[in-house]
């Protein structure tokens, strides 16, 4: 048994399912969007019964799930979280790194803005034994840049997450 991305367990059954090039191709096609047996049959140049058999094996291994569309009376197949993780094993790592960077950027930005405020508001009230530069704009600039980076990292995290959900 192998653990993939610290979450996905691959046992003998999963390896048997993934040993077929046709099933791997089906997973790749479903990565772009959900599809019916007919659509997959046409794209892969396979009979509908062959595609259905492969989809059943993928469904039993929890790489694919069925979705009944009541409006069109069609059955669609789409990737599960496990199926997405097989095709994109580093996706969660990217999200974790982006979220960690977001937190660090916000904390660093807050500290630098705090240092600027302390230097401009409270230093003049303190008795100073020697002349000190009171106004330090580099703290404000650095704080704003770090906060902007935090917003950017947060935006990229949500973009990555919604992109992953759309597939």
Q: Each residue of 54-87: pLDDT tens digit? A: 999 999 999 999 988 777 788 899 998 888 888 8
Q: What are the residues facing 65 on neighbouring strands?
A: 78
- 8 and 65 together in one domain: yes
Question: Which of 96, 109, 111, 115 has its CA nearest to residue 151?
Answer: 109
Q: Per-residue confidence at 146, pLDDT binned at 50, 70, 90? A: very high
Structural domain boundaries, residue 127: 91-166
- 58 and 99 together in one domain: no
- Identify the domain boundary among 65, 87, 109: 87
Q: Per-residue confidence at 90, pLDDT binned at 50, 70, 90? A: confident
- Identify the domain boundary among 68, 87, 106: 87
Measured CA angle at 159 (ends 158, 165), to 5 deg: 85
User: Can you tell me the distance from the alpha carbon of 162 to that of 118, in angstroms, rounded to the nearest whole number?
Assistant: 40
- 82 and 111 together in one domain: no
Angle between helices 37-44 and 48-60 (to 10 degrees): 110
Angle between helices 37-44 and 21-32 (to 10 degrees): 120
- 99 and 83 together in one domain: no
Q: What is the pLDDT of residue 53?
A: 93
- 54 and 97 together in one domain: no
Kindly report the average pLDDT of the chain as a whole number: 81
Q: What is the pLDDT of residue 7?
A: 55
- 37 and 106 together in one domain: no
Domain count, the chain: 2
Per DSSP bridges, beta strands 8-10 and 64-69 are unpaired
Q: Give the pLDDT mean for 146-153.
A: 92
Ranges of beta strands (E only) in the chain are 2-4, 8-10, 64-69, 74-79
- 79 and 112 together in one domain: no
């Amino acid at each position: 048994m192998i653990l993939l991305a610290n979450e996905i367990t691959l046992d003998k059954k999963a390896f048997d399912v993934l040993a077929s090039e046709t099933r791997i191709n089906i997973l790749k096609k479903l990565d772009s969007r959900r599809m019916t047996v007919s659509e997959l049959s046409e794209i892969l140049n396979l009979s509908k019964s062959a595609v259905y058999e492969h989809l059943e094996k993928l469904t039993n291994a929890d790489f694919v799930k069925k979705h009944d569309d009541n409006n069109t009376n069609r059955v669609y197949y789409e990737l599960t979280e496990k199926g997405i993780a097989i095709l994109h094993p580093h996706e969660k790592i990217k999200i974790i790194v982006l979220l960690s960077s977001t937190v660090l950027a916000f904390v660093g930005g807050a500290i630098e803005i705090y240092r600027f405020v302390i230097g401009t508001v409270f230093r003049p009230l303190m008795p100073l034994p020697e002349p000190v530069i009171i106004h330090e704009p580099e703290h404000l600039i650095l704080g704003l840049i770090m906060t902007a980076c935090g917003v950017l990292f947060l935006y990229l995290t949500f973009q990555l997450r919604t992109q992953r959900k759309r597939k």
